[in-house]
Amino acid sequence: MKNVIKRLLFAPKYRIKQLLRKTWITLFRPMLLKLERQDILRMDSEDAHFRMCAMSRRAQGKPISVLFACDAPDTFGMFESVYKSMADDPDFAPLIVTLPYKHSTLPAGQYKDAGMAAFCESRKIPFISGYEKENNEWLNPVSLMPDYVFFQTPYNVFPPMWSVQQISKLARVCYIPYASLLEKGELAAICHPEMFFRFAHLFFTECSLQKELLIAEFKDRYWVSRKRIVVSGHPKIDHLAEKKELCGKVWKRGKTKDIKRILWTPRWNTWDGTCHFFNYKDYFVEFCKGHHEVDFVFRPHSLCFQNFIKTGEMSLEQQRQMKQTYDMSANMSIDANFEYEDTFMTSDVLVSDFSSMLLEYLATGKPIIYTHRKNVFNDYGLKLSEGLYWVRNARELGDTLAMLLSGNDPLRQKREELMKVLYFIPEGGAGRFIKEYLKSDYRNV
C-alpha cells in the first residue's frame, strides 16, 4: 500500500488517472466481487425462504399477507387503490402498520408521528400501531408473518428491525414510487438509493419509459433484473376514474362559479438550485390582493415548515405571521389536509416548481405553470415539460396567469397528446393490476 501511495504522489498528472484505475482494480475489485457473491447468496436464501413459506401458507389455505408500512398520510394515495383492491379480494389479507419516522429535518434520534393513525381512524381504515409511545416499544414485524411488504419511501426512516434489509429476510419487499422521478443527477441518486433497491424484490413503475430509465441507471449492478421492474401504471391517479363528490372546502369561496382557482405546490427545500417556496411566497400575497376574481391555495410539502425551522430560513414566528396573513385574506388558503385529490380536481390551474406533482396534475388535463430556475429534468421529465408553461420570473408568471385566467390555453392539445405517452393506465386501474400481479407472483413460486 505504501508503494501505491508513493507512485501516486510522484506520478505525472496524465498518469494519475491510469494509476488510480489500476489501484482500484488491484485492491478493491476482489473485495467487491466477494461482497457481490455474498449478496447473491443472500438473495437466493431469501427467495428460498419465501417459496417455502408461500407453499406452506397455500397448503393451509391462508390468504396472502401484505403489509403497508405507512408513516405519511399525505402520500397514502400511492397505496389506497392497491389496499382497497386487496381488501375486496378474499385471497388477500392486507394490513396497514402506522409508524413514526425520522428525518434529517428533525433533531437527531427523534421520531415524528405524522398522524397516520389519526388519518386511518378518520377514514375508518383498519390498522395496527407499529410503535407504542407509552412503553417506547416498536412492534416486531416478525410477529406479523408477512408475505409482501410495501414501503412508502426508499429511505432509512425506521429503526433497524423495520429496515429494508431486515424485512427482506421475512418477506418480498415491494415499492411503488411515492414521487415519479423526473430529475437526473444528484436528485435522482437521492430518490433512488441503491441500498434500498438492492433489497427490493418488486419495483412497480408508471410506464415503459420509466422502466428503461431505471434499468439504464443501474445497468451495471448485479442485482438488477428486468422481471423485477413491473410497468403497472401509478395508483396515485386511479382516483381520476372514481366518481367522488367534490366539495372544494379548502377554497375560501368553495366552488363558487366565476371564481378561478389557483393551486401552488412549491418545493420544500432550497439547497438544490431549483425554484422553491421563497422565490414566489411574497409575489402571491400581492397578486391575490389585486385579483379578487381568484381564489388561491398554497399546499405546503409535509416537510416544508419543519425544514425551514431547522435551516433557520423561516422561524416559528414568521410562519405564524404568514398563516395569519392567509387566514385574514378573503381569497387565500393554506391546504393542510392529508389528501389533495379534491383540491386538484376543484382547481383550475397549478403553479409548481420542480416536483412530481407536475406529472400527477397533468393527468387532470388542466394547465400547469412551471416556475423554472435550473434544468434538472431527465428524459421523462423533459417529455412532460413540453406540456408545461415555463416561467422564469414574476413578470412571466403574471403574464401567463393572465393568459390562462382569460381562457386562452395554447398547450391544451399538447397535454392531451402527452397523457397518451406518459401514462400506462391498465384496465381496472393500477391498484387492481398490482394486486393481480402479486397474486400471480405468489402462486407461481
**Domain shared by 81 and 204, yes or no:** yes
**Domain shared by 220 and 94, yes or no:** yes
**Domain shared by 281 and 312, yes or no:** yes
Return the closest-CA partner of residue 391 out of 380, 402, 400.
400
354 within 8 A of 360, measured Cβ to Cβ: no
Q: Which residues pair with 64 in a beta bridge?
A: 92
**Domain shared by 277 and 159, yes or no:** no
Report how far residue 164's alpha carbon sits from residue 150's, in angstroms, rounded to the nearest whole number: 10
**Domain shared by 276 and 187, yes or no:** no
**Domain shared by 395 and 303, yes or no:** yes
SS3 content of the chain, % helix, strand, coil (to 5): 50, 15, 40
Residue 170: inside a domain: yes
Strands 137-138 and 131-132: antiparallel
Strands 349-352 and 260-265: parallel
Burial 179-199 (b: 16+ CB within 10 A, else e): bbbbbbeebbeebbeeebbbb
SS3 call for 260? strand
Q: What's the total number of domains in the chain?
A: 2
445 residues of the chain, pLDDT tens digit each: 455 444 544 445 545 555 555 555 565 566 666 666 776 777 778 888 889 988 999 999 999 999 999 999 989 999 999 999 999 999 999 999 999 999 888 888 899 999 999 999 999 999 999 999 889 999 999 999 999 999 999 999 999 999 999 999 999 999 999 888 888 877 777 888 888 999 999 999 999 988 998 898 888 888 888 999 999 999 999 988 887 788 899 999 998 888 999 999 998 888 888 899 899 999 999 999 999 999 999 999 888 899 899 899 999 999 999 999 999 999 999 998 888 889 999 999 999 998 888 999 999 999 999 999 988 898 899 999 999 999 999 999 999 999 999 999 999 999 999 998 899 999 999 999 999 999 999 998 8
Domain containing residue 72: CATH number: 3.40.50.2000
Other Cβ atoms less than 10 A from the Cβ of 399: the count is: 12
Residue 39: inside a domain: no
SS3 call for 205? strand
For residue 115, give its domain range.
63-234+427-443
Report how far residue 332's alpha carbon sits from residue 287's, in angstroms, rounded to the nearest whole number: 10
**Domain shared by 205 and 160, yes or no:** yes
**Domain shared by 410 and 287, yes or no:** yes
Report how far residue 340's alpha carbon sits from residue 344's, in angstroms, rounded to the nearest whole number: 6
**Domain shared by 132 and 220, yes or no:** yes
Residue 335: inside a domain: yes
Q: How many CA atoms lie within 13 A of 262 on its CB side?
A: 24
